[in-house]
Structure formats: C-alpha cells, structure tokens
Amino acid sequence: MNRSPKRNENDLLGLMQPQMQETVQKVLGDIPAYRSKQIYHWLYAKRAQHFSEMTQLPAALRSQLERHFTIGKIKLVTKSVSADGTIKFLFELSDGFQIESVLIPSEMRDAKGEARRKTLCLSTQVGCPLDCKFCATASMKLKRNLTAAEIILQYFEVERLTGERITNIVYMGMGEPMLNYDNVIRSLRILTDPELEIIGAKRITVSTSGLPDEIRKFAHEKLGVKLALSLHATTDELRSKLMPINRAHPIKELLSAMDEYYKETGIPVTYEYILFEGLNDSDTDARRLAKIARRLPSKVNVIPFHRIDFTNPQGFGAELHPASDENFNRFNTVLKSEGVQVMVRSSSGEDIEAACGQLALSQIPHPVAIEI
C-alpha cells in the first residue's frame, strides 16, 4: 500500500545526513561534506526553521539554500488542554489534511511539582485503514501516510509551542506505523541519531496492531526502540471481531513474530490490552493473557476503554462498554498473581477526546491530489 504524497524534492527536512549531502550537492555542486553536516545539525539539533538562522554557514551558501530548498512545516490549528494537564494538538499539513498529537504528563512529580516524564503520542498516518472497532481513528479511514518530516515535525512543534522538553515518544497516535514503514524508520533513525542528541532510543515505543512480516523486519533495523503489540484479546474469535486484521494474521502468527523480535533484539516487549465489559475481562482471559506474557520478557499495559460515541460507531463497535471497576481491578490482580508485570494506563485527556483510542477529526478537509 502506497498512500504517501509526492514528496517535495526541494525539502531538506526528513532527509538523513547522507541523503542531505547528495541532495544539496546535486543542486549546488561539490560543497564540502562538513557543510552538509552543518546543515543537518542546524535542521534537527538546533531546529532551524529558516536557512538564514544557520549562522555557521557562509552568507553566500545560506542565500543559495534559500533560493533552491525549503524546510518543511506543519501548522497548529487548535490546542485543547485537559484538566489533568494533557494537551491535544491539531496540526494542518501542507496539503490541507489534518492530524492530532497528544502530550501526556506523567502522574509522577518532582520536588517542584513538575511531571517527571512528558510523553508525546505521535501520528504516522492521516486516518487508519485497519477498522479496529474500539478506535475513533477508524472512522476517518485512511487518507494518506505521513512523510518522515511530518512525523518529526510533530515532536519539534510541540516542544516549540510548549517550551517543554519531551522525555518520551510513543508512535501510538493516528495510523498503523508498520503500514508506513519506510517513513517511520527514517524518522526513528533521525530522532535517535546520537550525533543529534534529540532523544534516546530507549525512550521511544512503536505500537503495532500486528503485521508479522514488518515486525520481523523491524527487529533487524537495530534501532534499539521498544515495541508494543496491541493485543486486546486472547482468542482469535474475539480479536477478529475487535480487530479485523486478525483474520489475516491470527494470534499464533503474531506471537511467533514477537518471539523472533525478542530473540533478535533482546528488548522486552509490551502487550497492550483494553478491557471490555463481559468480553475479555474474565479470570480465564487474564490467565490466558498471562500465559502469552510469560513466553518472553514482557509487560502488559492494561488500558481502560474510552468511549468513542462521538464517532457514531455501528455494529459490534456500538456494543463495546468499559469493564466495571470491580472486573478491571480483579483482572489486574489475577495477572499479577500469575507473575506478570502490569502497568495500568491512565485515562489522561479523556475530557478532550485525547485518551487512548479517541483520536479522530470531526471534519476532513478536501486536500490537493496525492500520488497513490
């Protein structure tokens, strides 16, 4: 599936350092390699928005860059602030499409009362094609993939708009990262480039609904980032109802890919599990999940279901309800008794429709044509 826009070949943002050197030299001639490295650092490490800011470069070179190249941008449309401090950003892309990103402060505070961690939830697609019944983004369908620059720009813009340092990134916003594989990988390589000192690989998690071939390929990228699998059910029958992709890639196939991922990387994995009343919240479900979690070093993120009534869900999606507090707590108790490391995901941002599974747009603008 190729749903990316035709990339602006004059835009330097989103290029890795060797690509940037090749692109600049193709237009400007044989400039010294250290100059293209300086441009690379100004774009990413110093977040330059205009070539005129790159004061290490000769004035003549800055002028040439201004004439021949651009630096990509995304535009803030609205910002919504939750009572718990979560901030949702609605960004507009150059072709008129829109995406959402969410900044989530941790509940842990330092001596000054500041959140110890500030996690940014990034989007990788405009919409999503997977039609998970519990996810608001599914109502948008897939419009297109994001470029590597558009993924990175979410990070840069949120830091610039808030003046706060982002400590962690999760690729868990709109879209399925593994369906935008090349741009996701490029964005990860740039964000984790040790020469840029933007963010450490161990502070990034990529979440997938489950594409076995891509999971295996991802294992060999040597990125050092964490991987999370959105599981949400322990039987194929229920998971196929919740997540139609399971019909093509059932649980056994997914778990085999996760085994290979751990064998190749040595990085413990995360299983994400939303609790639905009367569907997947029994003691039997908890024990089956524990058996899965014990296959390899892992933890389970147990997530409350956040209603998506604002998208007018139909069919099975309209029948989903959050597990009761009693069932939610009992489920976690059983998991822990089975030796599973359990993390309970908070409902941060639910009052602004920014909690897990709630990202969607009320209106989709009509953009310019894209290359399919």
Q: Spell 108-146 as b/e; 16+ CB within 10 A means b.
A: eeeeeeebeebbbbbbbbbbbbbebbbbbbbbbebbbbb
For residue 54, the one-letter residue type is: M
Q: How many CB atoms lie within 10 A of CB 18?
A: 11
φ, ψ of residue 352 to 5 degrees: the values are -120, 20
Catalytic residue among 100, 150, 176, 353: 100
Q: Which of 175, 201, 267 is nearest to 228 (CA)?
A: 267
Residue 195 burial (10 A CB sphere; 0-12, 13-18, 19+): exposed
Catalytic residue among 92, 221, 356, 371: 356
Distance, in Å, from the CA atom of 16 to the CA atom of 164, rounded to the nearest integer, reads 25
Closest CA to 226 of 170, 175, 186: 170
Q: d(Cα 249, Cα 229) in Å, to the nearest integer?
A: 13
Residue 209 tokens, joined: 């609904």
Q: In this structure, what token pair is assigned to residue 338?
A: 């089975």
CB 128 within 8 A of CB 175: yes
Cβ neighbourhood burial of 147 (10 Å; 0-12, 13-18, 19+)? buried
Q: What are phi and psi of 304, to 5 degrees?
A: -65, 145
CA angle 348/47/38 to nearest 5° reads 145
Report the distance separating Cα 159 and Cα 168, nearest Å: 12
Active site residue 100: yes
Residues annotated as part of the active site: 100, 356
